Amino acid sequence: MRHQWALVQRLARQCAASRASTTLPRRLLASQCPILRRQPFSSTPKRREDDAFLGWLPPRTHSASSIYASDEGKEVTLSGWLLPCRKISNSLSFHPLRDSTGVVQLVARNELVQTLANLPPESVVHVTGQIGKKKQKQQNPPLRAGESSRLPSSTAQDEVEVEVFSYHLLGRATSSLPFQPSDAHNLPSEELRAKYRYLDLRRPQLTHNIRLRSRVTHAIRSYLHDEGFLEIETPLLLRSTPEGAREFLVPSRLAPASEQDEEVDAGAPTFYALPQSPQQPKQLLMASGVTDRYFQIAKCFRDEAGRKDRQPEFTQVDLEMAFVDGAAPPQARDGWAIGGSQVRRVIEGLVRAVWREAKGVDPLEHEETGFEVMTYQDAMRRYGSDKPDVRFGLEIVDLCPYIRDKLERFKSSSSSSSASPHALAKLLLHKSSHLRSHLEDLEINPADLDAELLAQGVAEALRVGRADPNTLTSDGQEEDVHLFVNTRHSPADGGSTELGELRLRLRDALASRSLLPAHLLDPTLSQPRFLWITQFPLLTRSDPDKADLSQGRWNATHHPFTAPSVESLPALKEVLQLLNSIQGQHYDLVLNGVELGGGSVRLHSASLQRAVMEKVLALQPHEVKRFDHLLSALASGCPPHAGIALGLDRLVAMLVEQVGGTAASIRDVIAFPKSAGGRDKLFGAPSVVGGDEGGARGDEEERVLNEFRLRRKRDD
């Protein structure tokens, strides 16, 4: 009460000294003093460790990011988290206040200095005060040349401050927090931050990421709605189907719902499967005719090991379109030699809309056509990767045409200061035991080999293989040449080759030595180079980590519902040619060496889809039965359709402005991510089912195991 009356007296003296023309109105006095306003709003907090106010308060008038120098003199009400203060004296202190939009500086004077300073950092307060301009020396420096913006913690609001008249404590923070989110230089390990994710999310960078994700998602929805797409939710509890990746299973107490399971024991446990993608439901939507343009911001689940760019649960922008082209238009000249051009047009427009919203730039502003298009075989031949980074050179040249045969498992490197193509060709012929041995296997005498023709191949490698065509040494002479040679399968398969992986390692080594631009180390820090990769093989062998699921059978490169190219239809129908020669109408969108998503033209013929499952993928009858609903829908009259899915997590991670020059993990753009190993440190998942300790937990575990006829996995 004494403090409140002293505040009234101080305000009265200020009013008297300022004369009638500038007297503070009673409304302002009332907003600052509960004696005049008669409301339970006190500038002095209650002295309890568990202070957590619950009651009426004057509503917030501004956020931290909505205060500008032009608002000088205005009364504002703010709410947020207090950051560590800077106490100048017993009569002056500065207290940064953070909310979800940014940080603004509070100024406390006289009686408020000590009371605010006694509050632990990260306490939540509700303050009323007056906007003023900072002194020039207190303002942050202007943006540097080329710096377009800063994170919300250092925005244009650095010019202003708020002098506090009163405050109320909404929630006191403990004085023993595991770490201070505002101390960017003393952050703990990622594991500890994951355990206290709610604290970690208070860091300006992560707050910025989550807000950017919301803006990107809104831009995606707005664009697709404007393009006539219908947003439809598909089920999360589905039937298990063999689509490639491992599924998450959800136990159920219900009896089997499908007639095809009649032969199964009625008491057998049943399970739902969480979807790896909404692939089948969206194709059924196309067959239904309810819409010919579907999209969804879909949650998907895959029981796979976590990686920097992968989570067991993730979000994708999923879309499907009916009545699409099944082959390239006759006059196509931009390299798109497959169907699905309508999907391409929509996705390129979508990406442009997202980039304009997030970055304020148009990635196709100076392009007459769409994104660059490259076939899978060209990408593997030139870059050794199915998602090449085309921002720099170091291209790979195929020497096979220059020796009239192909190499088998050859790997060699050499350098020469007199690096003419003829000298390097002779070096390979005379010094490489691998090459000579291979030529003997082919019954080719090295002396009979056309060295001039081989030199032409080496010359081509020298032309396109440089990281920078104008690279010179410090004395103006050409650098030494390092020639790396290796083999790959023909036609190419897999996602990369040894030379493709070496190319990326060379990029990193050259960039770290300032021989290439440093921004090449981070795909988010340079101009976007979008690239479509098309005409993938329709069928491949499984990766080693999924070999047990495929049981040695062929697998669909994209998924079993991808249509073959028109040229490959005869080969597929007769299954007489080599399976790996059949191309699919499958396309991936790549940005700076990172795959953003992929899609395909679908098979809409029930008979052909069944033939792929039974004769090509060699699915067992009971496995084919799991797709009866889809085959039945295709046989009911289904239009040609195609679709694509873009990884939203990965897309936002590519858009985030990086701090420190390293690419963000997708965990930095997900509010509550899993760890690299797939565990949730915050919620403690996965966990055992049942009680917390002792025999109760063990009894509950045994009950669940028995009910669902499960058994514990043995270590052996």
Shared domain for 529 and 569, answered yes or no, is: yes
Residue 13, domain member (yes or no): no
Residues 539 and 663 in one domain: yes
Cβ 588 vs Cβ 598: under 8 Å? yes
The confidence score (pLDDT) of residue 46 equals: 44
Distance in angstroms (rounded) separating the CA atoms of residues 685 and 29: 53
On whether residue 323 sits in a domain, the answer given is yes
| Rounded Cα gap, residues 5 and 25, in angstroms | 18
Distances (CA, A) of 93 to 31, 68, 287, 311, 580: 22, 21, 67, 45, 72
Could you give the CA distance from residue 208 to residue 212 in angstroms, rounded to a whole number? 6
Same-domain check for residues 253 and 175: no
Token pair, residue 85, equals 């203060």
**347 lies in a domain?**
yes
Give me the mean pLDDT over the 156-185 stretch. 89
Q: Give the pLDDT score at 675.
A: 86
The tokens describing 83, both together, are 């950051």
- Note the pLDDT tens digit of each residue in 126-141: 999 999 988 765 555 4
Q: How far apart are CA 412 and CA 174, in angstroms?
A: 62
**Domains: count for the chain:** 2
State the CATH number of the domain containing residue 585. Answer: 3.30.930.10
Check whether residue 252 and residue 175 sit in a common domain: no
Q: Is the pLDDT of residue 287 over 80?
A: yes
DSSP states of 544-562 as a string? GGGHHHHTT--EESS-TTB
Residue 37's pLDDT band (cuts 50, 70, 90): very low
Comparing 24-38, 313-327, 399-413, 689-703, which segment has the lowest mean pLDDT?
24-38
Q: Please name the helix (run of DSSP H) or strand (run of DSSP E) that holds residue 2, with its range, or none.
A: helix 2-17
- 640 located within any domain: yes
User: Domain check: are 226 and 181 in the same one?
Assistant: no
In this structure, are 273 and 165 located in the same domain? no
H-assigned helices in 227-299: 279-288
Class of residue 649 by CB neighbours under 10 A (exposed 0-12, middle 13-18, buried 19+): buried
Task: Check whether residue 165 and residue 57 sit in a common domain.
Answer: yes
Residue 180 DSSP label: -
Tens digits of residue pLDDT in 406-426: 333 333 344 444 567 777 777
Domain identity same for 302 and 370: yes
pLDDT of residue 518: 74
Residue 562: strand pairing partners: 602
Two tokens, residue 276: 């790896």
690 vs 688, higher pLDDT: 688
The mean pLDDT value for 504-513 works out to: 83
- Give me the chain's average pLDDT, please: 78
Question: Does residue 314 lie in a domain region?
Answer: yes
| Rounded Cα gap, residues 516 and 122, in angstroms | 44
| Boundaries of domain holding 53 | 49-135+157-187
The size of the chain, in residues, is: 716
Residue 707 lies in a domain: no
Answer yes or no: is 508 within a domain: no
- Across 140-180, the runs of DSSP E, i.e. the strands, are 160-171
- 44 has pLDDT over 70: no
Which residues on adjacent β-strands are paired with residue 126?
79, 168
DSSP symbol at 571 = H
pLDDT confidence band for 469 (50 / 70 / 90): low
Among 262-266, 357-361, 597-601, the minimum mean pLDDT is found in 262-266
CA dihedral 107, 109, 115, 121 (to 10 degrees): 20
Q: Tokens 């969206």 belong to which residue?
A: 282
Kindly tell me the burial class for residue 32, based on how many C-beta atoms sit within 10 Å of its own C-beta (0-12, 13-18, 19 or more). Answer: buried
Of 145, 46, 63, the C-alpha closest to 101 is 63
Which of 654, 669, 684 is a domain's end point?
669
* Span 357-396, pLDDT tens digits: 988 888 887 677 889 999 998 999 899 999 999 988 888 8
Q: Domain check: are 113 and 223 in the same one?
A: no
Q: What is the pLDDT of residues 616-632, one digit of tens each?
A: 787 888 888 889 999 99
pLDDT tens digits along 21-31? 333 443 444 44
Alpha-carbon torsion, ordered 273, 278, 279, 280, to 10 deg: 60
Q: For 226-239, how does the pLDDT look when each residue is reduced to its tens digit (9 = 90+)? A: 999 999 999 999 98
**Residues 88 and 235 occupy one common structural domain:** no
Strand partners of residue 375: 534
**In this predicted structure, what is the pLDDT of residue 152?**
45
Task: Name the more confident of 552 and 442.
Answer: 442
341 and 215, same structural domain?
Answer: yes
Whether 325 and 385 map to the same domain: the answer is yes
Q: Is residue 149 part of a domain?
A: no
Q: What values do phi and psi take at 9, rounded to 5?
A: -65, -40
Q: Is residue 338 a contact partner of residue 706, using CB atoms and an 8 Å limit?
A: no
Q: What is the CATH number of the domain that holds 63?
A: 2.40.50.140
User: pLDDT grade, residue 548 (50/70/90)?
Assistant: low
Task: Tell me the whole-structure pTM to 2 decimals.
Answer: 0.77
Given a cut of 90, is residue 615 above it in pLDDT?
Answer: no
